Structure 1
Amino acid sequence: MQPSLRIGPPPQEGEEESRLLLRFASPRDPQTVAAWVSFNVIDTERQDWARGWAKLKAFTGRTGHARVPYEHKEGAYPLGQWVAEQRRTYGAGQLSGLRARRLEQLGMVWSLADERFQENLAAARVYYDEHWTLCAPRSATALDRPLGQWLSNLRRPGALAEHPDWEEALRAVDPDWNPPWPTDWQRHYAAVRELLREEDRPELLPGVTCHGMDVGKWLHKQRRPAVWQALAAGQRERLEQLGIAPFPPEPQAPATHRKGGAGAFERGLAALAQYRARTGSLTVPRAHVERLDDGTEVKLGVWLTNTKTRRAQLSTDRRQALADLGLDWAAH
């Protein structure tokens, strides 16, 4: 008699055991019946795993990767949580080699750091949906996670150098998650942007608040000529896209170039705004000289020191202009 040949795919893990039991043992044998039930009815874990694998296969076929967001569901199936569980099982050395290979064929990445990132990214999406920005304060939380501190850590220079895919994922949620200007500015801007998208656009006067921020007062400050001039080009561009323009400059007395004359303060203020826009700092070396666009040279370090010394003699308007640029000592 010729040996029998198998037709079709080889048996899956566990299938051969149940088939052999049914073939060679008496169907009336209680032990056989118990084993059959164990392999084919009670062992739902195997069926659940196969279902998760099939859902992951569908996901990777559609997206081209296996980076499943923690909160993602395929239909009603919590695929993101299932993938996170496979990573934990693998890290504990409890995932079989066969299952690990099957997942790797779908592009599974086993890094626990990636797993934690995906879980934090899920919290970031929740925060963005509510606040319209990822420039969260350090104290911010979402899904019981310290989201603000996590984002602050990732903004540190070089923090994402080895994880360009993480930065790509964050930019997919919020392109301005790590702006080249203060995150506090970005938070206020995001609130203004969303409020102005409403059909009944509110008039954002000082006193109008959103998420605990006085966005009306903030916007009024940005429109002051000295502050507007000190903004980075990208900041002005974003405000202009919302239809926001600076206030017209207030009439000024004719300038004179006599030492200490009426134009000295204005030239110093313009030089300070130019210096801040270029360097992002208000700390000016005493010997620094700033050249204005018209070629005028201003001894900015000396001017700033002298202006601070004479603060009590400045008019309210001049102190306010200095405070608008960010000099805290001018506002008190």
Structure 2
Amino acid sequence: MTDPFSPWPVAGVVRLAPLAGETTMSFVNRLAARYNVTVTGLLSAMAGPGVRGVWGKGCLVGEVFLAPAVRRRLASLCQVPESHLSRALPSWDEGADAKANGDQPNVRFASGSTVPAVMLGCRLCTAARTGAPCSARLYSALRPRICIRHQCWSLDSLALDRVTLVEGQVGLAGVPEVIRAHQRLLPLLRRRGSCENAFAVAQAVVASWWDAHWRDEVLWPARLGRVCADLPEGEVAVLARDVVTYPEAVAVTTVLSDRLWRQRILEDTHGQMPHTLAEVPRLLTELARCLGRPWLVEQLASSSAGALFAWVRACVRRERGAVPEEDVWAVPVAHRPRGLAAQVRELRLKHVGSAPVGGRPSRAEQAYQVGLAHARSYAARHGHLAVPKYGRHEGFALGPWLANQRTGVAALPIERAQALHRIDPWWNGPWPISWRRMYHRALVHVQKHGLVDATAGFPGTSLALGEWLHEQCSRYDDLHVGQQRLLADLGIRPAHARSAHPRRKSLALAFAAGLDYARAFAAVHGHLATSKSTRQDGFPLGQWLMSQRSRARMAEKETDRSRALSAIDPWWNPPWPMAWQRAYHHARKQCGSNQLLVPGDGFAGVGAAAALWLYAQRALFEELDPRQRDLLREIGITAGDAQARQTSRFYPTGARIDFAVGLAHARDYAGVHGHLALPHPVQHNGFPLGRWLASKRGEARAHARRTPAPWPGMQALAALDPWWLPPWAFAWQRDYHRLRLLFAAGLEPPPKLCSWFSEQLAQRQTLLPSQQRLLQELKDLPV
């Protein structure tokens, strides 16, 4: 060891065996002490000069990772085979290839915050195995923490800073229940693979109970007084937490690791996500029995946060197949036991009074407080926190904020969950927010009008609310127990739910109300020929009458309701279209109550639309229903007037012309002239027949382009003139009929028509076959 500049190649002269579970740093420290050198000097001799970073007591709870060459030299120095070192030292085989210490790649140090917890091994056991009084630090494991032979508990080694190291042992002679609990736990660790995970959950559970400082808790203070520890008096309550709560942690572990209790949890919750621990009463009863604390059931029943609540929710989700098995035993960070080092540091700062314990809140905490303030404001205004997912309150996205809190409720710190619970106990109900919002509508109704009457069909409620309440009654047994509890506040209990009737409006009262609106409409307009969109004082009278007409037509005979409506208007439900009835009443209104229409003067004084309709009725008078003809006679339209329709003159004012009117004029014109090839400006008895036919030709051609089906009016017009819509230019058809008329009258056609005829004969082969036949007919006429 005289050459400090090169690794030491010579085998050691002292044999030093490692302890099972010991840290490599602890083993190197003990080896350096045997050779009476520092850790830095020993590692420099093994790995070369330049080893840095080993100073202060904090390094004792850290770890060192060695390169393979250094490990071989160290094994040679301690005279222990490297395979034995690999089995005894958990971190021995983890290399140090990364350059963590400047230019030195062979040694890498890790601080205590980046490695698993380290504890001080039993001093008597260490002395017996090493043959010398020394300290050895082991990785904190469940089995070796308690030394049954020497009745002591090894505390975790806590590095408060570079120069302050808190570690030691607690004597268990005064607390034999801790030894007995450990003896019960060891067989469980051997038999059940998940027992260590269950113990971690149980430790988090009892640690949260320890921090709660329940008034009924008397066993822990008494046990703490019997703990023997060479520690500062004020710090014993912090450092001995795990010792004092160990028997309870073992008892809780026994329950949590039993799969039977997971099945019972599923049975109690019916596979639904629990809202509080009160929904798993058998689990709470068993925990209270095992722990000897009967008051624990009531204490935990209202809990909706914490490690135990998170574990229960994870069990339900696991049985649903939503999470893997390992997630059942995952303790959220917020529910893990609080670090002892931080608590000891706070105690010492309080004692010294040199610095405040708490600093400035983190940004996450500040953001949470802002959201909590808006939640309080919203609840003060609305009485609940059932905010829609994307709802905003005073410009703050309260809906998304609450949705995030609900999503991570299992990992939410207890203080935050309790703060929201104080604002609204049902802020995180395991059912949709829409259900909660509808429930509050029902609650407002109950506060104004009293409890709802399910057996009577929820009278007094709105139709939507009544239907929702009946739906809850119909699936009452499938609802969450929390939902059933809320419905009880509305007056709906199991007996009421089973005898509930659907929410329906009284049909008799509804008809009577509609009849009153119908009377009011008829009193003003004199009829009930309404359109679908007609409303009377806000009431949808048109839709209501359509419904009544539909029911009357389906009935085999006249009903009381039909007679009531007929008493208001005998033609409220005519056998012809309602459009005809509305047009009739429109025309009747224009002619006055005691004044008959005068067809001969073109219905002077009547609006254009009504006049067109009246002319169409005169044209089709004989084709109407006899009862329609009777109605027309009441306003002056008679059979004689219909027969004289050809001599009457009518002057439209630009409204759309009815097809029946145009067809009647076309029939008259074709009867006189034998065709319908008239120019656009031609009128017949004042009717614009040329313009009307031109528009019908356009409609027919557009219809042919859209579909191969025949145009509806084609057959009627083709019966008057087969060539009313020729497939060639219409000017050709007009010239043809002009020439035919002159030939038939024995007159000489003008030169222009003669030239046209000669031209058509000359190019006859280029014409359509139908045009050729028409020309042949002209040649056959006697001229």
Which is higher, the Rg of structure 1 or of structure 2?
2
TM over 0.5: no
TM bucket (normalised to shorter chain) is: 0.3 to 0.5
What's the TM-score once normalised by structure 2's chain length? Answer: 0.18
